[in-house]
Structure 1
Amino acid sequence: MALPALLITACAFVLAGYRYGLRFEIRRRPVPGLPTLPPQRTSGPHREYVELSAAERAAFAGLMRQLSDG
């Protein structure tokens, strides 16, 4: 009668130790995380510049007048 009780107690201790060790192992693992922000550039974006003809400038000025008048 003492042998089954001893085996049950030993198994309980082994399983408890295994569970504790596994929990400790999981907690110690390094978590590969994603960076919260991507690396930032030190300069702004490349500027694009297009030379407008006189007719295009006049059309743009007319459009701005229409938009500002409401």
Structure 2
Amino acid sequence: MPEHVSFLQQIGLAVLAVATVAWVVGLVRLVRIVLLPPPRPLPRSLPLGSLPGQARPPALESVPLTADEQDAFAVLVRQFSRG
């Protein structure tokens, strides 16, 4: 800077430069929001690329219950059905 420019004038110039850059950035963002259409959402029918498809449905699992376990389960179901 030239010698005849005071320290306060240099600070003022820096503040104006920062304000100008902030204004330009805000204006560009505003124009992008107004002029560019929003992105279209992807249809839900497209599969996710990172997850493999299932080859077959999972097998049903069952465990045989003893007579005591069946009785205890029946008591539990009756308790739940009463509320």
**How would you bin the TM-score normalised by the shorter chain?**
0.3 to 0.5
Structure whose residues are more often helix by fraction: 1
